[in-house]
Amino acid sequence: MGGRPSRAVVLVVLVALAGCRTFEANDSPAVLDRFLGRWNTEALIRSHTPIVREARTVGRAVCRRTLEGRYVEFRTTSVDPPGATELQIMTYDAAAGIYRQWVFDSDGYRHELSGRWDPATLTLRWEGDVDGARVVIDDRWVSRDRLEWTLTRTAADGRLLQTIRGLVSR
């Protein structure tokens, strides 16, 4: 029993290692698959200047792969208040080792952020500068069917401009 492993054992180990390697290689794009499907959305938006104002939104979203599966398209429609829509495009840039996100909404707002996945916390953190302000979004997966997210917009001088707490659930 203590001699060389059989060819069958070696083959099983090699197949298992190859499977792990494939999983690691595919893990980054697979993170975006978490967004796929139909969702309910909620958000509490707080504007902090000059005085604090709050607005709540409730809506629906649909996410699917597009453009030969290279991108994920996340479309939201607000039910309350009615009419606001948003298009979010996400992808994994393997050459740069980062995620990329572009957002466009029916009010004319747009941004482009880059992101990093933290598997320990199941959080995809997006960051970038938009119109002179720093924007940070944390998408944290609480479960397969529940994403809690926050957005913080901070002025160059450190003043808090806006915070959003959101929930995406099935």
Whole-number pLDDT of residue 6: 39
Are 158 and 152 contacting, i.e. CB atoms less than 8 angstroms apart? no
Q: Judge whether 2 lies within some domain.
A: no
Q: Judge whether 1 lies within some domain.
A: no
Residue 88: closest CA among 107, 105, 74, 77? 74
Q: Please state the rounded mean pLDDT for residues 77-95.
A: 93
Total domain count, the chain: 1
Task: Give residue for tokens 């060389």.
Answer: 4
- Give, for 56, the enclosing helix (H) or strand (E): strand 53-66
pLDDT > 50? residue 22: no
Length of the chain: 170
Q: Which residue has the higher pLDDT, 42 or 13?
A: 42
pLDDT tens for each residue of 62-81: 999 999 989 999 999 999 88
Assign residue 143 the CATH number of its domain.
Answer: 2.40.128.20
Give the Cα separation of 86 and 63 in Å (integer): 12
Residue 167: closest CA among 72, 39, 33? 39
pTM higher than the cut 0.85: no
Whole-number pLDDT of residue 28: 66
Q: Please state the rounded mean pLDDT for residues 35-41.
A: 97
Report the share of the chain in percent with pLDDT over 90. Answer: 76
Q: Which residue has the higher pLDDT, 53 or 22?
A: 53
What range defines the domain where residue 121 resides? 7-169
